[in-house]
Each structure stands twice: as structure tokens, then as C-alpha cells.
Structure 1
């Protein structure tokens, strides 16, 4: 009860009927199916590479999962919705890859499968980002930091063997838009901006300086 009371001080769950919960899960499954199919279809020659370069990186999915989480009725529902979102997205994407393109990318499937498995825990915690106090601010720093770090490192995204240099500022601009959206619509108080942004900048500097994303993902990020 002690932990539950402390969590309620950050954010209180909203009561929702079973029908509402089921409907919200059905909606995110539908969104996952649509986005999974879209991500696969743009991963072809002749399509503007900007769509594939965005869809094949962690940033956009962190952004979407954050929005799904914080606008859920409860942390448990947030965890369920994000899990079903990624399961539906990845299932459609890789079923299409395996059965229609006859290609089985084992490393990528394992990588994104692990992301899907840990996503409910992240979503449960992320639900509290739209709460009160400094804890909610620290929680929101997590996706902001990830977007800042990955967005900044896009400056080397196509080096040395890619020619789409003109996309780099466009992609970085899209990441900036996602960061701004999270900063403006997630916090319950505008003053939290003064806490979240400096901390996120410091954390992203550390991540970039020590190449933490590269060490963790070993080049797998960007290969959905």
C-alpha cells in the first residue's frame, strides 16, 4: 500500500470500463497493423528514402509508444496497449518479409522482439510522465534524451557509403518536432520544461560522448 500511495501522488489512475479498455487495445492493434504494413511498403526502391529512414529507427517508435502510454487510463493498460501495438506492428512487418519477400532477418527479428518484450515495463513507467512532481519530469526525460541522442547522431547516418546527404537536416528536423511535441503535450505544467530539457540535454551529451547507443545496439538500430 505504501508504494501504491506514493505512485498515486504522482498520478492517479482513471476508472475505465472493460469495454473501453478492450476498444483502446483494438485501436492500437489496428494502428500497429497499419504502421507495420506501411513501414514494410516504404522499404522498397523508388519510395522516398526519408520514410524508410524514419521507420527503421528507434526514435519514431519511442515517440509513438510514449504517446500511447501517457494517454492511457492506467499504467497497466498502457503496458498492455504498447505491447499489443509492437506485437501487431512487428508481426505484420516480418510476416510480410518472410512469406512475401522470402527473407528471414534473424538478427533484426531478435532485436525488435526484445524491444517488444521490454516495452510493457517501459510503458508502465512512462505512464507517470504525465503526472505531478519531479519524478514525472525525470521519467519524461527518458524519451526526450533518446530522441535528442539519436537525432543528433543522424548527422553520420549515411556515412561513408550512402548518398542521401540531403535527408540529414530533414530527418533531424523531424526528430526536433517529435521532441517539441512531447515537451508541450505531455507535462501537466509548462514550468516542467525548465527541468526536463536541461536534464535531457546533459544525459544526451553523455550518451553521445560515450557512444552508448552504438555500444548497446551494435548497428542494429535503423534496420527494422
Structure 2
């Protein structure tokens, strides 16, 4: 196990405990703000929102999964260690999910229990997923494959396709996908291109085996 970890990605120098606590609190607050904001938009009539919000369909965009996956990915890979990645991503989702459904229950007066349980379940497994994602920025073949799988999942959350059609959910999802590519880009253009091509192949296979889009 240690050999795997060392070959995949080395940890950064330790930072003061006070800074770790501050960073985690900031991430928690970010989750709370984004969860509240997302539910606020969801509970507001579209014609009462600024035109750009309605035009880009921001409300439904925040109700889909791609943007949350990107945020969690960035929190994970830029954390100082895999354990910190697990903690930070878990704290983010605790803040986001709890604030969203507290607002939903006490302000909007509606609590979709089945949908809530999906997000609660995902929050519960998010530390494990974040632990794995942290190693995607390493230099090993395993790190490369992790990047490919993550990009493949993002691809399927961004594009709608089949044998004779290809479309996107929205331009915002495309932006999220491009940000994911930037976050996981390899050391050379050639390696990055190979990562993208491999991810598309894996995405198509996943779509055939598990044609599920969280939207």
C-alpha cells in the first residue's frame, strides 16, 4: 500500500494545524453558501432572476451533478494529502447538502426525501472517492488511469449522445468539462491528448454499460 501511495503522488510539506482548520472551515462555509444559493435559485421563479441566469439556465445547472463533481475534484486534488482531501470534500458536501435541504424544508416548505437520500448517500461515500481522486495528479500509470476515469465521468455528465446523435446539456456543463481537463492536464500536450482520447473511449463504454446521467 505504501509503495502504491509513494509511486502515485507524494504529499506536500506539512502546514500549521491552525491553517488546516481555517482552510477546512472556509470549505465548509463555501458548501453552505453554494447549497443555500442553489436552493434559493430553485425556489425563485425564473422570470424573477436576472436575464443571464435564465438564459444560461443556472438553476437547473446547479441541480445537476457536473458542477459539484468539478468542485469536489478541485478540492480533492489541491488538498495537501489524501486524508485532507477526504476531510475537505466531506465537509464541503456536509455544508452544501445540509444547507440545501434545511432551506428546502424550513423556507421552501418541501423536502423531497428520495432525492435527499441520494445526496446523503453520496456525501457518506465522498471521503473515499476524494481519497482516490487525490492521486489522479500523480505521475504513475495508476494516476493516469484515475484521471481518464474522472474525465470519462465528466464527459458523460456533459454530453448526451448515441449512435446517431450528439448534444450537450448546456454551455455551462461544457465549461465545467473544460475546467476538469485543465485541472487534470498531464505534463505534456501529447499525454493530455492521450488522456482525453482514452477518456472518450471509457465514457462510451460506461454509457453502454450504465446509461445513467445524474440530471
Answer yes or no: same fold by TM over 0.5: yes
Instruction: State the shift of 1:154 in Å.
Output: 8.3
> Following superposition of structure 1 onto structure 2, how do residues 47-66 of structure 1 map, counting pairs within 5 Å?
47=49, 48=54, 50-66=57-73
What is the aligned partner in structure 2 of residue 45 from structure 1?
45
What secondary structure does 2:212 align onto?
A: helix
- Counterpart of 1:72 (choices 75, 79, 89) is 79
What is the aligned partner in structure 2 of residue 19 from structure 1?
18
8 Å contact kept, 1:66–1:123 = yes
What is the aligned partner in structure 2 of residue 162 from structure 1?
none
What secondary structure does 1:9 align onto?
A: helix
Aligned length: 201
What is the aligned partner in structure 1 of residue 147 from structure 2?
140
Give the TM-score taking structure 2 as reference length: 0.86
| CA displacement 1:130-154 (0-9 Å, x = unmatched) | 1112211111123211121121128
Q: Tell me which stretches of 4 or more aligned residues in structure 1 moved more than 3 Å.
A: none
| CA displacement 1:77-136 (0-9 Å, x = unmatched) | 000000000000011100011111221210011000011011111100000111112211
What is the aligned partner in structure 2 of residue 31 from structure 1?
30
- Counterpart of 2:90 (choices 72, 79, 83) is 83
- Counterpart of 1:92 (choices 88, 96, 99) is 99
- Counterpart of 2:180 (choices 170, 174, 182) is 182
Structure 2: 5+ residue runs without aligned partners?
Answer: none
What is the aligned partner in structure 1 of residue 7 from structure 2?
9
Distance 1:30 1:61, change over 3 A: same
Give distance in 2, aligned partners of 1:172 and 1:204: 18
Give distance in 2, aligned partners of 1:78 and 1:61: 15
Distance 1:130 1:65, change over 3 A: same
Distance 1:128 1:13, change over 3 A: same
Give distance in 1, aligned partners of 2:192 and 2:177: 11
| CA displacement 1:21-47 (0-9 Å, x = unmatched) | 111101111110110111011112123
Give distance in 2, aligned partners of 1:199 and 1:108: 32
Greater mean deviation of Cα atoms: 79-88 or 18-27: 18-27
8 Å contact kept, 2:186–2:192 = no
8 Å contact kept, 2:152–2:202 = yes
8 Å contact kept, 1:148–1:175 = no
What is the aligned partner in structure 2 of residue 101 from structure 1?
108
What secondary structure does 2:11 align onto?
A: coil
